[in-house]
């Protein structure tokens, strides 16, 4: 895996996690 792939995956996973958190705990946002 290249560095670009790793960075892209990290960004995508963090964005997905943020969206899931916003859906599960909307009172924090």
What pLDDT, in 10s, does the model give residues 1-29? 899 999 999 999 999 999 999 999 878 66
- DSSP-derived letter for residue 28 is G
What pLDDT does residue 6 have? 98
The whole-model pTM stands at 0.64
What pLDDT does residue 29 have? 65
What pLDDT does residue 26 have? 78
Closest CA to 22 of 10, 12, 14: 14
């Amino acid at each position: 895996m290249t560095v670009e792939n790793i960075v892209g995956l990290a960004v995508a996973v963090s964005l997905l996690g943020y969206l899931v958190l916003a859906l599960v705990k909307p009172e924090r946002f």
